[in-house]
Amino acid sequence: MVPRNLEKILLELAGHYPVVTVTGPRQSGKTTLCQQVFPDKQYVSLEPLDLREHATRDPRGFLAPLTDGAVIDEVQHAPGLLSYLQVEVDRNPTPGRFVLTGSQHLGLSAAVSQSLAGRTGVVHLLPLGLDELRRFPGAPQGLLETLWAGGYPRIHDQHVPAGRWLSDYVGTYVQRDLRQLLRVGDLQAFITFLRLCAGRTGQVLNLSALGADAGVSHNTARAWLSVLEASFLVLRLPAWERSIRRQLTRAPKLHFLDSGLACHLLGIREPAQLALHPLRGAVFESWVVSEVAKARAHAGQALDLFHFRDHRGFEVDLVVEAGARILFAEMKSGATLADDFFGPLDRLAGWAGPVLAGRALERRLLYGGEERRTWGAAEAIPWHEVASAGWLDR
């Protein structure tokens, strides 16, 4: 496995907290990362039922032999263990003693916040960013191939065909984790819902319409989507509501955090099919948003990502509050630039001037071409430079 960008932050947190918690979707590389960063620590997985039952029924006995700490994998299976871990690290608060990993962020975050508040640093490991992906020999080189394959590490580390791996991932994840978490009785209804979500990636979210199309209630759609988000499969991008005197759309925008998973759910079975697909632009937009989210998450920074849309339909795809800067970004999957691509950036910049409060404003267009160019007050950034485009707080 190649080095991950999160390694630096993980080591820093382990130097300050007795516990470090790494969350993220299944198969994002959490276990491999923790074993690489902490090779001398004992490793214990709570995936096997016998160890899970031991940790649940006899937490003191489970922790007793781990006097020097350990990497405890899939800790969401035994949330009650965290209360006993709290007592243990209060007794011996040596920094970096325990490293916890978990996939189901919804249940894990509640248990961590309740039992380990002030005792743990929490980081999120998402699928590979483009710069991490390029560290693998034989990584996809073209835009369509990159979008279609996505960023789950096993695809690129083990050279598993992306279509085959994603099919198995959806089947296993839906049938085991999400179905168990949601107690879904009608599996087909949930799969339909998942595919409909993929069809809405890059779009403003209308939960009532989504639920109606899936044949479920608004409340069910809300609950299902919340679990998809808590499991790091999708991201709801909130509306940017600074004091701009406009009537704004306050609904979030929906984005899949892995373009390969979105393509698979959309029935796109090869990269060439994506070239003419009507949702190519939406998939590209979600991919750029996910790349920015990965860059910030893997640097240990809050996402602080938004979209802008007023009641007349004027929109800017992405707003990033990056410390002393605010970044406005538009996405176009095509390789050819045009003047009207930059109009929304200039227009929003004109409205936003009075509310910037001394922060620098940068305008960016991420596009499917190969050359970086300055276009008026904006920067046109080719897709392959997205990871190095400077999305972090300064």
Q: Is 123 helix (H, G, I), strand (E, B) or coil?
A: strand
What's residue 178's pLDDT?
A: 74
Residue 198 lies in a domain: yes
Q: Tell me how far CA of residue 249 lies from CA of 206, 210, 225, 246, 316, in angstroms.
A: 11, 17, 20, 9, 12
Q: Position of tokens 């979707």? A: 25
- Say whether both 192 and 223 belong to one domain: yes
Q: Sheet containing 42-45: which strands, arranged edge to edge? A: 42-45, 70-73, 98-102, 19-23, 120-124
What's residue 103's pLDDT?
A: 80
With a CB cutoff of 8 Å and minimum separation 6, the contacts of 231 are 25, 103, 104, 105, 106, 177, 178, 181
What's residue 271's pLDDT?
A: 96
What is the model's pTM? 0.94
- Say whether both 186 and 223 belong to one domain: yes
- Say whether both 137 and 195 belong to one domain: yes
Q: Which of 63-67, 117-121, 265-269, 367-371 has the lowest mean pLDDT?
A: 117-121
- Say whether both 32 and 115 belong to one domain: yes
User: Among residues 73, 104, 124, which one ends one of the domains?
Assistant: 124
Q: Is 82 helix (H, G, I), strand (E, B) or coil?
A: helix
Q: Position of tokens 């975050």? A: 109
- Say whether both 134 and 120 belong to one domain: no
The band of 127, judged by pLDDT with boundaries at 50, 70 and 90, is very high
In the predicted model, what is the mean pLDDT of residues 319-345?
Answer: 95
The band of 247, judged by pLDDT with boundaries at 50, 70 and 90, is low
Domain that holds residue 51: 7-124
Q: Is pLDDT of 355 > 90?
A: no
Q: Which of 160-169, 235-244, 361-370 has the lowest mean pLDDT?
A: 235-244
The band of 118, judged by pLDDT with boundaries at 50, 70 and 90, is confident
Please choose, from the candidates 93, 102, 92, the residue with its C-alpha nearest in 3D space to the C-alpha of residue 120.
93
Find the DSSP H helices in 58-203: 59-63, 81-91, 105-115, 130-133, 143-149, 153-157, 162-172, 179-182, 187-199
- Say whether both 36 and 140 belong to one domain: no
- Say whether both 184 and 100 belong to one domain: no
| pLDDT 10s digits, 261-317 | 999 999 999 999 999 999 999 999 999 999 999 999 999 999 999 999 988 888 999
* Share above pLDDT 90 across residues of the chain, in percent, rounded to a whole number: 75
User: Among residues 79, 99, 124, which one ends one of the domains?
Assistant: 124
Residue 90 lies in a domain: yes
| pLDDT 10s digits, 335-352 | 999 999 999 999 998 888
The band of 184, judged by pLDDT with boundaries at 50, 70 and 90, is low
- Say whether both 111 and 189 belong to one domain: no
264 near 166, Cβ under 8 Å? yes
Q: For Cα atoms 284, 195, 219, give the angle at the middle one, nearest 5 degrees.
A: 115
State the Cα–Cα distance between residues 4 and 132, nearest whole angstrom.
6
- Say whether both 118 and 144 belong to one domain: no
96 near 15, Cβ under 8 Å? yes
| pLDDT 10s digits, 196-213 | 999 999 999 999 999 999
Q: Tell me how far CA of residue 232 lies from CA of 105, 113, 114, 124, 315, in angstroms.
A: 8, 18, 21, 9, 25
What's residue 115's pLDDT?
A: 76
Query: How many domains, in total, are found in the chain?
Result: 2
In the predicted model, what is the mean pLDDT of residues 36-65?
Answer: 94
Tally of helices (H runs) and strands (E runs) in the chain: 18, 14
Q: Is pLDDT of 249 > 90?
A: no
What's residue 242's pLDDT?
A: 73
127 near 25, Cβ under 8 Å? yes
